[in-house]
């Protein structure tokens, strides 16, 4: 299908201010999308309240409005500009929510503005947990056992059914705000109360905990001819329980057999079709029980997401750009692949390297903030790195964080030094205070956990013990262990590096 | 979960010598044995177990472009034949530990138990670039430093063009197959597939078990016959349909099978996959040629020329049907590869046959093209069963 000629002017909503949970990744996707639309000869009207964005540069859109992303302001812009359609999928959750408000208030209908990329029913099906649950059931996809509650009494009834621990997820919120995990009645009541308050529609989902399960994401694209391709698979280093934005994530998936990966791929394709995202990218998250491989669907973002930016950079497939072109009618086989320039975009990138994303927190700037990681995102940025092995990309990523570390150890910056009694920070591996701290830092997710995994191995914990404490997949742990083994080998031959050079 | 000592730098040395004189120095992985073959590369990021057991790789040394292999170990289910079929296996980094709920043994232990040579620790990207630029080459994996005659050994490996490798992998005796798809695969099939009351005879040119599983899922009777079975033998079994399997190497020297297929055309519905597709193309009067570096991977986009739909497909072939060579009487090209516009599907409605160059049975790879098996069932139904 060629580009649509019945539309001329397209309204694009940006993501507004940079906040924790929604950073500049949507400036990246929005800018890319606007450029693609302009390239196709459409008139682009852009709204973003944040002037500190590339997107609001004069050359990005034909008309740029720096106005609040609220229905009142958007209506005035629509009234003045009379766009033919609105592309709401490039500006993160903020843009998507704004589009939902405009539709609910009848503004889109009033000015005859068509939603492209994702239609209202698709957005609702993906975002409303009750509708999502029904949609998944209709295509035979399992989701964690759950109940949808509107007040404390319903919440108390629900917990009797599901049992602890549970995860509380408010509907229609940003970066998982208001979400939390409860292990007991007291925590539960507190989290429910806060969650109900955070949700603009005062509804929350109480969900069976899949804490400690393996977490995966797939980036999916679909066109108007119903072609679907998977751009990238991502496996989280941190198991379920830590927000993806706060997890170390790795592309491609590392520990799935082809049978299991294809099962997930098939599920993702069924999901994007069932939810009804007509064109563009979606992000679908899965949890897999490491004991028996049971796979459940966690959520779907019917839009370009934080992970899309990562997946674009990881694979060279510009998701936002292609999403914009699909939204105006092109099919995947009609768009050229940016990398090869010869082959079409209807392919699935395959890579011969490992990509690691490591979140960057800034708790030092937020005194008093709780540095425990959970279902609410707390990181303020991330580093991405590419290596031919996971070890290489992890080391490069840690070095890129600008946290004054040169990687995992070997940089003289360790808190505990176990091998050299003469070192000022020398600690005995058997020191109970040290062991207590290590175990706590492994058990409760926190920004330094990766470094404590290293301390644990150095202090003599076995791989099984470390796994029991942190539930990070043994494959990742073995790789961390290998970095330490290499460090030990280097230390052992520090006076004579010849054996290493010649090997 | 099995863990070995971290020992890549302590592994014994091994080399890969190529016919153009290149030597890649790395470390031994798997069995310490000498092994020659055509060096090819596969771009799948998952599915090494299926790749290793695919008889289409017989006589080839396979390099994986994805650098980390062995991560999920090896299990009992994900096999495509009874043994490892590749001549050798080249990877960047073997996993010291495997982690998966189905994993039963490590990749290295499995390769050792079947005496299959491997090489690790080389720059596989450099090797793949060379194969892409120069084309596939003959090569040999040698334990140790290689020695002066390493390149000579690579040049002594027989060239694949003109070689009949089917004889080495086809079954000696006919057999019946009953096993349907594994639970994990079945989960993703549309509901309500019923076994149609059809008898299918499948030619084994090196057949992948997942093809048999897909067929057995859909028909009540499935008989497998050796590649040398004649048309008369097969027709005497009164099949409702005949299947032509995948297999290794060059289709042209498999002239006995091409002749048999000629004898079947128009008499019974025929469906071919991969080598079976090439053999059908030759039987229909076309020609085949060798591709520079082949298609081996799980991300090849194929367009259905009738519907415009695109399937992401699993592929493994070094030879290809020449579109221009096809006689213009009823045969038509139905599918094209969007990367290089090569022929991916053929059909001759009058002769009741169709075929695809890619692998609808996946394993490894996407399930997008599974519908071809249903098309085969429909074709048999149309012929009155």
d(CA B360, CA A478): 36
Residue pLDDT, tens place only, A160-185: 988 888 989 888 776 667 888 898 99
pLDDT of residue B2: 38
3-state secondary structure of B299: strand
Q: Say whether the peptide bond before residue B48 is cis (omega within 30 degrees of 0).
A: no
- Report the distance separating Cα B4 and Cα B94, nearest Å: 11
Mention every residue, 6+ apart, whose C-beta is less than 8 A from residue B178: B216, B222
* Nearest residue to B217 via CA among B376, B339, B70, B84: B376
Check residues A18 and B353 and name the one with the higher pLDDT.
B353
Before B364, cis peptide (omega within 30)?
Answer: yes
Is the Cβ of A341 closer than 8 Å to some Cβ of chain B? no
Q: Identify the burial level of B101 via C-beta atoms within 10 angstroms of its C-beta, where 0-12 means exposed, 13-18 middle and 19 or more buried.
A: middle
The CA distances from residue A269 to A155, A222, A285, B63, in Å, are 33, 9, 13, 30
pLDDT tens track for B100-119:
999 999 999 999 999 999 99
Question: How many whole angstroms separate alpha carbon A449 and alpha carbon A361?
Answer: 13
Average pLDDT, rounded, for chain A = 92
Q: Which residues of B64-78 are buried (b: 16+ CB within 10 A; e: fewer)?
A: bbbbbbbbbbbbeeb
Q: What distance in Å separates the CA atoms of residue A309 and residue A234, rounded to the nearest whole number?
A: 12
**ipTM for the assembly:** 0.95
pLDDT confidence of residue A181: 86
Any long-range contacts for A175-179 (C-beta under 8 Å, 24+ apart)? A175/A19, A175/A20, A175/A21, A175/A22, A175/A93, A175/A243, A175/A245, A175/A376, A175/A377, A176/A21, A176/A243, A176/A245, A176/A375, A176/A376, A176/A377, A177/A21, A177/A376, A178/A204, A178/A376, A179/A243, A179/A374, A179/A375, A179/A376
Lowest-pLDDT range of A128-132, B136-140, B251-255, B347-351: A128-132
pLDDT of residue B8: 59
Q: Which residue of A has its CA nearest to B68?
A: A389
Q: Which of A259, A388, A463 sits opposite B78 (nearest CB)?
A: A259
Q: Between A262, A481, A503, which is nearest B362 by CB?
A: A262
Hey, is A358 helix, strand or coil?
strand
State yes or no: pLDDT of A435 exceeds 70: yes
pLDDT in tens, A313-351: 999 999 999 999 999 999 999 998 877 777 788 889 999
The two tokens of residue A50 are 């944040």
- Provide the 3-class DSSP secondary structure of residue B44: coil
Residue A212 at interface with chain B, using a CB cutoff of 8 Å: no
**Sheet of A249-251, strand order:** A295-301, A280-288, A214-222, A228-236, A249-251, A354-360, A381-387
CA nearest neighbour of A303 among A64, A115, A167, A170 = A115
> What pLDDT was estimated at residue B9?
59
C-alpha to C-alpha distances, A442 to A247, A429, A450, A477, B47, nearest whole angstrom: 14, 16, 8, 12, 32
User: Of A394, A380, A230, A388, which is closest to residue A311 (Cα–Cα)?
Assistant: A230
Q: Which one, of A14, A78, A22, lies nearest residue A50 by Cα?
A: A14
Min Cα separation A254/chain B (Å): 7
Residue of A nearest to B78 (CA): A259
Of B300, B303, B367, the CB nearest to A333: B303
CB < 8 Å from A in window 103-142 of B: 124-125, 128
**Range of A70-79, A401-410, B184-193, B327-336 with top mean pLDDT:** A70-79
State the average pLDDT over residues B204-228.
97
The pTM for the full model equals 0.93
Q: Percentage of residues in chain A with pLDDT exceeding 90?
A: 76
Q: How far apart are CA A376 and CA A170, in angstroms?
A: 11
List chain B residues with CB under 8 Å of A475. 71, 95, 97-99
Among A140-149, A228-237, B19-28, B245-254, whose mean pLDDT is lowest? Answer: A140-149
pLDDT at site A502: 52
- The C-alpha of A478 sits at a distance from chain B's nearest C-alpha, in angstroms, of 7
Q: Which of A199-203, A215-219, B199-203, B281-285 has the lowest mean pLDDT?
A: A199-203
- Check if the beta carbon of residue B339 is closer than 8 Å to that of residue B273: no
Q: Say if residue B4's pLDDT is above 50.
A: no
Pairwise CA distance, residues B33 & B267, whole Å: 48
Interface contact flag, B98 A475, Cβ < 8 Å: yes
* Interatomic CA distance for residues B123 and A111, integer angstroms: 59
What's the pLDDT tens digit per position in A406-418?
999 888 899 999 9
Distance CA B142, CA B152 (A): 12
B47: which 2 tokens? Answer: 């599915």
Is B361 marked active-site?
yes
Q: Which of A267, A189, A173, A256 is nearest to A228 (CA)?
A: A267
A359-387 mean pLDDT: 91
Residue of A nearest to B103 (CA): A257
Catalytic residue among B38, B80, B217, B274: B274
Q: Which residue has the higher pLDDT, A309 or A472?
A: A472
% of chain B surpassing 90 pLDDT? 90
For chain B positions 181-240, those within 8 Å of chain A (CB to CB) are 182, 184-185, 187-188
Residue of B nearest to A337 (CA): B339
Whether A168 contacts A191, CB under 8 Å = yes
DSSP secondary structure, B193-218, as one string: ---EEEEEEEEESS--HHHHHHHHHH
Q: Is B31 helix (H, G, I), strand (E, B) or coil?
A: strand
What is residue B175's predicted lDDT score, i.e. its pLDDT?
98
Sign of CA dihedral A331, A332, A333, A336: positive
Q: Which of B47, B68, B77 sits opposite A254 (nearest CB)?
A: B68
The verdict on whether B344 is a catalytic residue reads no
Give how far Cα A17 sits from Cα of A22, A49, A53, A67, B28, Å: 8, 7, 9, 11, 55
DSSP assignment, residue A345? Answer: S
A475–chain B Cβ distance below 8 A for any pair? yes
Residue whose entry in the numeric block shows the structure tokens 């998250």: A285
Of A213 and B329, more confident: A213
- Residues paired with residue B302 on neighbouring β-strands, in sequence order: B311, B337
| B366·A262 Cβ contact <8 A | yes
Both tokens assigned to B323: 């579109």
B274: annotated active-site residue: yes
pLDDT grade for B3, boundaries at 50, 70 and 90: very low
pLDDT digits (tens, 9 = 90+) for B75-99: 999 999 999 999 999 999 999 999 9
Q: Do B65 and A352 touch (CB under 8 A)?
A: yes
- The pLDDT tens digits of the residues spanning A85-107 come to 999 999 988 999 999 999 999 99
Task: State the Cα–Cα distance between residues B151 and B24, nearest whole angstrom.
Answer: 11
Model pLDDT, residue A16: 92
- Considering the candidates B50, B361, B367, B372, report the single residue annotated as catalytic: B361
Please give the Cα distance from A407 to A397 (Å, whole number).
8
The verdict on a CB contact (< 8 Å) between B68 and A389 is: yes
Mutate which: A352, A391, A493, vs B, most B CBs within 10 A: A352
CA distance A69 to A50: 10
- The shortest C-alpha distance from A449 to chain B (Å) reads 21
pLDDT in tens, B246-288: 999 999 999 999 999 999 999 999 999 999 999 999 999 999 9
Please give the backbone phi and psi of residue A284, each rounded to the nearest 5 degrees, phi first: -125, 130
User: Which residue from B minimizes the CA distance to A270?
Assistant: B188
Would you state the pLDDT for residue B190?
64
Domains, chain B: 3-155 (3.50.30.20), 166-382 (3.40.50.880)
- Give the pLDDT score at B5: 46
């Amino acid at each position: 299908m060629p580009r649509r000629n019945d539309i001329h002017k397209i309204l694009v909503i940006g993501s507004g201010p940079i906040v924790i949970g929604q950073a500049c990744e949507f400036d990246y996707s929005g800018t890319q999308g606007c450029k693609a639309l302009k390239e196709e000869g459409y008139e682009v009207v852009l709204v973003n309240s944040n002037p500190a964005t590339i997107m609001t540069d004069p050359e990005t859109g034909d008309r740029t409005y720096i106005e609040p992303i609220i229905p009142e302001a958007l209506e005035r812009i629509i009234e003045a500009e009379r766009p033919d359609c609105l592309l709401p999928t490039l500006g993160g959750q903020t843009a998507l929510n704004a589009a939902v408000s405009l539709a609910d208030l009848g503004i889109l209908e009033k000015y005859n503005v068509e939603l492209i990329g994702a239609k209202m029913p698709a957005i609702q099906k993906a975002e409303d947990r009750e509708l999502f649950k029904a949609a998944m059931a209709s295509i035979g996809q399992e989701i964690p056992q759950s109940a949808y509650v509107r007040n404390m009494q319903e919440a108390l009834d629900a917990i009797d059914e599901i049992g602890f621990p549970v995860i509380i997820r408010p509907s229609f919120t940003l970066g998982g705000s208001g979400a939390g995990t409860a292990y007991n009645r007291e925590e539960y009541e507190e989290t429910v109360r806060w969650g109900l308050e955070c949700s603009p529609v005062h509804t929350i989902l109480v969900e069976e905990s899949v804490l400690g399960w393996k977490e995966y994401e797939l980036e999916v694209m679909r066109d108007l001819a119903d072609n679907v391709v998977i751009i990238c698979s991502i496996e989280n280093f941190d198991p379920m329980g830590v927000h993806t934005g706060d997890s170390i994530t790795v592309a491609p998936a590392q520990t799935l057999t082809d049978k299991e990966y294809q099962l997930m791929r098939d599920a993702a394709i069924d999901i994007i079709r069932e939810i009804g995202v007509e064109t563009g990218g979606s992000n679908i998250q899965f949890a897999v029980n490491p004991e028996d491989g049971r796979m459940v669907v966690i959520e779907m973002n019917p839009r370009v997401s934080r992970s899309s930016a990562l997946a674009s950079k990881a694979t060279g497939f510009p998701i936002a750009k292609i999403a914009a072109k699909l939204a105006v009618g092109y099919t995947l086989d009609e768009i050229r692949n940016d990398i090869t320039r010869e082959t079409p975009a209807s392919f699935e990138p395959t890579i011969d390297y490992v990509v690691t994303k490591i979140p960057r927190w800034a708790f030092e700037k937020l005194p008093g903030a709780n540095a425990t990681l959970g279902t609410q995102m707390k990181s303020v940025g991330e580093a991405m790195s590419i290596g031919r092995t996971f070890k290489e990309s992890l080391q490069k990523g840690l070095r890129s964080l600008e946290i004054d570390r040169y990687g995992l150890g070997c940089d003289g910056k360790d808190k505990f030094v176990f091998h050299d009694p003469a070192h000022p920070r020398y600690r005995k591996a058997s020191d109970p205070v040290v062991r207590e701290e290590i175990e706590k830092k492994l058990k409760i997710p926190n920004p330094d956990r990766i470094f404590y995994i290293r301390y644990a191995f150095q202090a003599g914990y076995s791989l099984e013990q470390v796994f029991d404490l942190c539930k990070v997949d043994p494959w990742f742990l073995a790789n961390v262990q290998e970095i330490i083994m290499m460090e030990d080998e280097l230390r052992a031959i520090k006076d004579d590096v010849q054996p290493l050079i010649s090997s | 979960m099995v863990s070995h000592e971290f020992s890549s730098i302590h592994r014994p040395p091994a080399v890969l010598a190529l016919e153009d004189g290149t030597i890649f120095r790395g470390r031994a992985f798997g069995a310490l044995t000498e092994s020659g073959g055509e060096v090819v590369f596969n771009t799948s990021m998952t599915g090494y177990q299926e790749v290793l057991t695919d008889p289409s790789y017989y006589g080839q040394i396979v390099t994986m472009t994805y650098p980390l292999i062995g991560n999920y170990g090896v299990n009992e289910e994900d096999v495509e034949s009874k043994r490892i079929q590749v001549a050798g296996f080249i990877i960047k980094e073997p996993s010291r530990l495997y982690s998966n709920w189905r994993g039963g043994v490590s990749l290295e232990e499995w390769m050792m138990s079947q005496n299959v040579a491997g090489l690790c620790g080389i720059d596989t990207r450099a090797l793949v670039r060379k194969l892409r630029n120069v084309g596939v080459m003959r090569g040999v994996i040698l334990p140790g430093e290689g020695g002066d005659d390493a390149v000579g050994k690579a040049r002594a490996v027989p060239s694949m063009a003109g070689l009949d490798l089917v004889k080495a992998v086809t079954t000696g005796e006919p057999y019946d197959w009953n096993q349907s798809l594994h639970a994990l695969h079945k989960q993703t099939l549309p509901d309500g597939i019923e076994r149609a009351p059809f008898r299918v005879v499948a030619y084994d040119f090196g057949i992948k078990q997942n093809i048999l599983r897909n067929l057995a899922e859909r028909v009540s009777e499935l008989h497998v016959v050796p590649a040398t079975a004649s048309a008369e033998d097969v027709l005497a079994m009164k099949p409702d349909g005949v299947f032509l399997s995948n297999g290794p190497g060059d289709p042209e020297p498999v002239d006995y099978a091409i002749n048999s297929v000629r004898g079947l055309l128009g008499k019974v519905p025929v469906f071919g996959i991969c080598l079976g597709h090439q053999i059908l193309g030759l039987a229909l009067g076309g020609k085949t040629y060798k591709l520079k570096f082949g298609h081996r991977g799980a991300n090849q986009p194929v367009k259905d020329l009738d519907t415009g739909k695109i399937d992401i497909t699993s592929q493994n072939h070094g030879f290809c049907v020449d579109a221009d060579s096809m006689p213009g009487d009823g045969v038509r090209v139905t599918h094209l590869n969007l990367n290089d516009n090569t022929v991916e599907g053929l059909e001759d409605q009058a002769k009741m046959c169709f075929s695809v160059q890619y692998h609808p049975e996946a394993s490894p790879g996407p399930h997008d093209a599974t519908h071809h098996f249903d098309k085969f069932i429909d074709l048999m139904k149309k012929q009155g069963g």
